[in-house]
């Protein structure tokens, strides 16, 4: 690990975070997000200066709009710093061996961030984001690890069919169709046997958080009271970042290996 590179990718994360925040805000409202600047929520003025120096602009203006002096949401700098932290963590954890693979992982992680927050707040997995990254993943696999291409393809199809069955059985109340497509993306990204661990982590996290939610709210969960997408995103990130011997350890301690008749 190179500290200079770590600093560079964190710094990049601040700028990417600024853009991702716009996407998360605008995509669910069907607003244009590829062009255009941040706008003040109160006077609708374009905030060009605000986009130019993320975090710093917020500090320099004490978090107030220059035109109407209303307070801007602290979520702007918070999300930018969060993205920076996630980029630094990704640089540190992921097995990127070249600038190409690191760029690939940062694109995937950016998409995961957007999907996480949009599904959390709006209960939709945006296909405009999910489908292009799935295509990127499939091309990347085909190009860099052609030997494993069938492995990734079967992991993707297996996960998607598994979720499709869950979707049909629960009649779309437990899971959305977005989750089925996400499962395909997840399988094509993780391959076998990582996909099993990714799904396993997602279901465990979903069950734990779901139970806490029921406990706090003291009521039954109805339908998709909590969207499942954010758990799939977490499962994907964790399974992707774990070294292979960790994956095998999880198999061993959860006895998943017996279930699958493998290893
Ligand atoms: Zn304003």
Give per-residue pLDDT as tens, 66-122. Answer: 889 888 889 999 999 999 999 999 999 886 778 899 999 999 999 999 999 999 999
**Cα 46 to ligand 1 centre (Å):** 9
Residue 185 lies in a domain: yes
pLDDT of residue 263: 47
**Cα 121 to ligand 1 centre (Å):** 25
Phi, psi dihedrals of residue 3, rounded to the nearest 5°: -60, -35
**Cα 65 to ligand 1 centre (Å):** 5
Asked if residue 202 and residue 134 are part of one domain, the reply reads yes
Asked if residue 132 and residue 69 are part of one domain, the reply reads no
Domain count, the chain: 2
Residues 9, 186: Cα–Cα separation, whole Å? 24
Q: Which domain holds residue 28?
A: 1-93
Asked if residue 152 and residue 66 are part of one domain, the reply reads no
**Cα 38 to ligand 1 centre (Å):** 11
Asked if residue 144 and residue 77 are part of one domain, the reply reads no
**Cα 83 to ligand 1 centre (Å):** 25
**Cα 44 to ligand 1 centre (Å):** 6
Asked if residue 142 and residue 88 are part of one domain, the reply reads no
Residue 104 lies in a domain: no
Residues 104, 195: Cα–Cα separation, whole Å? 18
75, 93, 111 — which closes off a domain? 93
**Cα 261 to ligand 1 centre (Å):** 62
This prediction has a pTM of: 0.90
**Cα 68 to ligand 1 centre (Å):** 4
- When the pLDDT of each residue in the chain is averaged and rounded to a whole number, the result is 88
Asked if residue 80 and residue 129 are part of one domain, the reply reads no
93, 116, 148 — which closes off a domain? 93
Phi, psi dihedrals of residue 46, rounded to the nearest 5°: -65, 140
**Cα 72 to ligand 1 centre (Å):** 8
**Cα 64 to ligand 1 centre (Å):** 8
Asked if residue 135 and residue 84 are part of one domain, the reply reads no
Asked if residue 129 and residue 246 are part of one domain, the reply reads yes
Digit-coded pLDDT (tens) for 184-230: 999 999 998 899 999 999 999 999 988 888 788 766 655 546 789 99
**Cα 39 to ligand 1 centre (Å):** 8
Residue 109 lies in a domain: no
What residues does the ion ligand 1 have nearby, CB within 5 Å?
40, 42-43, 65, 67-68
Asked if residue 130 and residue 87 are part of one domain, the reply reads no
* pLDDT category of residue 2 using cuts at 50, 70 and 90: confident
**Cα 71 to ligand 1 centre (Å):** 8
Cis ω for the linkage preceding 193 (within 30 of 0) = yes
93, 110, 137 — which closes off a domain? 93
């Amino acid at each position: 690990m190179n500290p200079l590179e770590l600093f560079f990718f964190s710094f990049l994360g601040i700028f990417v975070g600024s853009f991702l925040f716009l996407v998360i805000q605008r995509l669910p409202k069907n607003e244009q997000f590829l062009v255009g600047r941040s706008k003040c929520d109160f006077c609708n003025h374009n905030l060009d200066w605000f986009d130019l120096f993320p975090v710093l602009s917020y500090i320099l203006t004490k978090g107030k709009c220059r035109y109407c002096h209303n307070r801007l949401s602290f979520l702007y700098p918070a999300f930018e710093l969060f993205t920076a932290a996630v980029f630094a963590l990704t640089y540190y954890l992921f097995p990127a061996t070249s600038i190409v693979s690191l760029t690939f992982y940062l694109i995937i992680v950016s998409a995961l961030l957007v999907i996480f927050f949009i599904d959390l707040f709006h209960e939709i997995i945006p296909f405009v984001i999910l489908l292009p990254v799935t295509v990127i993943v499939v091309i990347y696999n085909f190009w860099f690890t052609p030997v494993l291409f069938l492995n990734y393809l079967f992991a993707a199809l297996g996960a998607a069919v598994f979720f499709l069955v869950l979707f049909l059985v629960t009649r779309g109340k437990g899971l959305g169709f977005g989750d089925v497509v996400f499962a395909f993306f997840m399988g094509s990204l993780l391959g076998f046997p990582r996909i099993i661990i990714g799904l396993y982590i997602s279901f465990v996290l979903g069950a734990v958080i779901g139970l806490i939610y029921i406990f706090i709210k003291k009521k039954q969960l109805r339908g998709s009271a909590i969207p499942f997408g954010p758990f799939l995103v977490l499962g994907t990130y964790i399974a992707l970042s774990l070294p292979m011997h960790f994956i095998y350890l999880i198999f061993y301690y959860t006895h998943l290996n017996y279930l699958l008749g493998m290893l």
